């Protein structure tokens, strides 16, 4: 039994092991009738079993995740093929003999916890590696880019994407005015939006879905040399999607379609697996890519420029024992990194570093959720934190401070074993400003469109028509067509024809040309600001 399995089994409580008891361990004699003064008389307050049973029911719910509320998870293992110590000191990436336990949670983004599995939406692909050096969380999605470049726009994006505040409609991820209003006023979204209109947004199975870390991260080796890295998960079963008609019907007939598929495959021993691939970019190549800033999360780095090197294998081989204890209570955080992996200055990533722990303090009502079996590191935890709601540990001794001479833990001396932040040189005026190198919002949407086969293009056109067909505001429809005209003229015409918008004239300069509706929208924005 691995350390992780041992941790998970400590609190395991089978439902069929003997007599029913109260939470205090007192055997229950009757759970069908409350204590009454006479068979037809009033119930008595002293009935502790009734009170406890109702009280526990009343308190069963915790807040669902503010995004990615619907998900499903599984346990597994990760193994690296060859030592990667040329790039990193991360133990789980340098020891091919190490079998690192993992927990993976797949999710949709927009819907609530009880929503269906097959809406047109981004899917989360979050992996917790329980490494011997502590937990590393790779909190990724099934699309390699994100809607926005700066985390300060995330609340706006999510408010626009979620059901509208006045009536909590619609439940559909993107088929409504506020989503299209926001994205057409925030053109950096255009690349991710065309992915969302493609079949990638309706995966056939979680087992057949890619995953991406999206941001550029850093690997740091034993000599302190940093290499930029992008993480890719490639499913061994290939990448497959539903078609829209199937997705809609399945949403009605079996809202648990993707969840059930994963559960049944694992239960029947058909363990899904993914290859981890890395795009590795030496520090001195960071500015080599024309029109792509590696810190811009709305851009990919094409594989022709930087190939994806396969480095290891993830296999999911065990379903959770309990959905709430594991899948619901798992807490991923982009900030959980181990020595040898570090962050970059991507402004979306930097905001995420704050958000996950902060939201989890709300979700779990305190700071001790790291002690839950599903979140607990297999590496020893020794620190001077104390108390708080739901403290399950019993710290023993006097010296919970540093420096100390009365017998307390000491920091790891700097070196390969301890975490050392990469000493990146930073210099610049304090200002709220987007880098000019983030300015191109259309080229990669065009690249994506051009990489599609004819039937994939048909699906994308049909998706824009369906989604925009639900948008009541004509100026929003017009704005979208004008953005699409910068992506591809034929795409813009095809969409325009399906949503009652006049055909746009051919764009001369795809990426810089201004159009009447866009300039009007921009000046409206500026006057509001
Ligand atoms: C979940 C915030 C961007 C992937 C969440 C949660 C929050 C959040 C608050 C709920 C966490 C919880 O309750 O445990 C943000 C912010 C972002 C951002 C502020 C931008 C500034 C992204 C991006 C990705 C991503 C770019 C993908 C690369 C995920 C995933 C989950 C998640 C997969 C679900 C984790 C799980 O299964 O529990 N995000 N997010 N997010 N986010 Fe983000």
Backbone φ and ψ for 248, nearest 5 degrees, come out as -70, -40
Q: Whose CA is nearest to atom 10 of ligand 1?
A: 65
Q: Determine the average pLDDT of the residues in 53-57.
A: 98
Please give the number of the atom of ligand 1 that sits closest to the Cα of 124: 33
Q: Whose CA is nearest to atom 28 of ligand 1?
A: 140
pLDDT in tens, 334-382: 999 999 999 999 999 999 999 999 999 999 999 999 999 999 999 999 8
Mutate which of 65, 323, 335 for ligand 1? The one with the most ligand atoms within 8 Å of its CB, which is: 65
Closest CA to 322 of 6, 113, 9, 1: 9
The DSSP line for 89-128 is --GGGT-TT--EEEEEEEEESSS-TTS-S-SS--EEEEEE
Residue 336 known to be catalytic: no
pLDDT in tens, 389-421: 999 999 999 999 999 988 878 877 654 478 999
The proportion of the chain whose per-residue pLDDT surpasses 90, expressed as a percent, equals 87
Q: Which two tokens stand for residue 403?
A: 């420096």
Residue 299 C-alpha to ligand 1 middle, in angstroms? 18
The percent of the chain in helix, strand and coil, each rounded to the nearest 5, is 35, 15, 50
Q: Which two tokens stand for residue 297?
A: 């999360």
Q: What is the pTM for the complete model shown?
A: 0.95
Identify the residues whose C-beta falls under 6 Å from ligand 1. 65-68, 71, 105, 107, 124, 126, 139-141, 146, 151, 154, 214, 330-332, 348, 351-352, 355-356, 359-360, 363
Mutate which of 67, 105, 126 for ligand 1? The one with the most ligand atoms within 8 Å of its CB, which is: 67
Q: Please, what is the end-to-end C-alpha distance for the chain in angstroms?
A: 59
How far, in Å, CA of 375 to CA of 128, rounded?
A: 9
What pLDDT is stored for residue 514 in this prediction? 46
Q: Whose CA is nearest to atom 20 of ligand 1?
A: 151
Find out whether 55 and 24 touch, Cβ atoms under 8 Å.
Answer: no
The average confidence (pLDDT) of the chain is 94
Q: Determine the average pLDDT of the residues in 257-265.
A: 98
Kindly give the residue spans of alpha helices, DSSP state H, lying in 331-442. 347-364
Closest CA to 152 of 351, 383, 13: 351
The DSSP line for 320-354 is -S-IIIIIIT----TT---TTEE----HHHHHHHH
Query: pLDDT category, 205, cuts 50, 70, 90?
Result: very high
Q: Whose CA is nearest to atom 26 of ligand 1?
A: 146
Q: Whose CA is nearest to atom 15 of ligand 1?
A: 352
Please give the number of the atom of ligand 1 that sits closest to the Cα of 65: 13
How far, in Å, CA of 198 to CA of 206, rounded?
A: 17
- Which listed residue (141, 258, 319, 485) is catalytic? 141
Residue 458 C-alpha to ligand 1 middle, in angstroms? 31
Please give the number of the atom of ligand 1 that sits closest to the Cα of 105: 37
Closest CA to 314 of 128, 140, 460, 492: 128
What pLDDT is stored for residue 176 in this prediction? 85
345 burial type by CB count under 10 A (0-12 exposed, 13-18 middle, 19+ buried) = exposed
Residue 510 known to be catalytic: no
The DSSP line for 185-206 is HSGGGHHHHHHHTSGGGSBS-G
Checking if the pLDDT of 305 tops 50, the result is yes
Checking if the pLDDT of 528 tops 50, the result is no
pLDDT in tens, 151-193: 999 999 999 999 999 999 887 766 789 999 999 999 999 999 9
How far, in Å, CA of 187 to CA of 485, rounded?
A: 13
CA dist list (Å): 150 to 108, 155, 162, 529: 22, 11, 19, 17
Residue 356 C-alpha to ligand 1 middle, in angstroms? 7
Q: Determine the average pLDDT of the residues in 226-241.
A: 98
Find out whether 407 and 398 touch, Cβ atoms under 8 Å.
Answer: yes
What pLDDT is stored for residue 331 in this prediction? 98
How far, in Å, CA of 199 to CA of 212, rounded?
A: 17
Residue 124 C-alpha to ligand 1 middle, in angstroms? 8
């Amino acid at each position: 039994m691995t350390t992780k399995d041992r941790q998970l089994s400590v609190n395991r409580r089978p439902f069929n092991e003997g007599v029913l008891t109260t939470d205090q361990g007192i055997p229950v004699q009757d759970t069908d009738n409350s204590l009454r003064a006479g068979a037809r008389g009033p119930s008595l307050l002293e009935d502790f079993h009734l009170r406890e049973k109702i009280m526990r029911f009343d308190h069963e719910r915790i807040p669902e995740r503010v995004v990615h509320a619907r998900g499903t998870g599984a346990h597994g293992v990760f193994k690296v093929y060859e030592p990667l110590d040329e790039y990193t000191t991360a133990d789980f990436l340098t020891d091919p003999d190490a079998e690192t336990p993992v927990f993976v949670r797949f999710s949709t983004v927009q819907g609530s916890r009880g929503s269906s599995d097959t809406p047109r939406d981004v899917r989360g692909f979050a992996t917790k590696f329980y490494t011997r050096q502590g937990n590393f969380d790779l909190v990724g999605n099934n699309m390699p880019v994100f809607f926005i470049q700066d985390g300060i726009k995330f609340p706006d994006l999510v408010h626009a994407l979620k059901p509208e505040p006045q009536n909590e409609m619609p439940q559909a991820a993107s088929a409504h005015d506020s989503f299209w209003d926001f994205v057409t006023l925030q053109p950096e979204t255009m690349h991710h939006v065309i992915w969302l209109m493609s079949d990638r947004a309706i995966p056939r199975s979680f087992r057949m879905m890619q995953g991406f870390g999206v941001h550029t991260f850093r690997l740091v080796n034993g000599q302190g040399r940093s290499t930029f890295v992008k993480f890719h998960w490639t499913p061994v079963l290939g990448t497959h999607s539903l078609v829209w008609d199937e997705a809609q019907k399945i949403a009605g007939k079996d809202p648990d379609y993707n969840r059930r598929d994963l559960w049944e495959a694992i239960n029947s021993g058909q363990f899904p697996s993914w290859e981890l691939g890395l795009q590795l970019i030496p520090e001195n190549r960071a500015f080599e890519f024309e029109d792509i800033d590696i810190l811009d999360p709305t851009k990919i780095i094409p594989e022709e420029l930087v190939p994806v090197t396969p480095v290891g294998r993830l296999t999911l081989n065990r379903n959770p024992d309990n959905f709430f204890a594991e899948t619901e209570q798992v807490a991923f955080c982009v900030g959980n990194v181990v020595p040898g992996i570090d962050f970059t200055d991507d402004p979306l990533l930097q905001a995420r570093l704050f958000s996950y722990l902060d939201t989890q303090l709300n979700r779990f009502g305190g700071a001790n959720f790291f002690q839950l079996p599903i979140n607990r590191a297999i590496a020893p935890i020794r620190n001077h934190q104390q108390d708080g709601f739901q403290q399950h540990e019993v710290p023993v001794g006097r010296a919970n401070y540093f420096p100390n001479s009365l017998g307390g833990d000491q920091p790891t001396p700097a070196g390969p074993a301890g975490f050392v932040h990469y000493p990146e040189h930073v210099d610049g005026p304090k200002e709220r400003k987007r880098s000019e190198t983030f300015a191109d919002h259309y080229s990669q949407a065009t690249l994506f469109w051009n990489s599609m086969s004819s039937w994939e293009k048909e699906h994308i056109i049909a998706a824009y028509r369906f989604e925009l067909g639900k948008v009541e505001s004509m100026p929003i429809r017009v704005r979208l067509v004008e953005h699409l005209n910068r992506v591809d003229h034929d795409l813009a015409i095809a969409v325009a024809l399906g949503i009652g918008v006049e055909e746009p004239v051919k764009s001369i300069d795809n990426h810089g040309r201004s159009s009447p509706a866009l300039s009007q929208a921009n000046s409206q924005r500026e006057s509001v600001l």
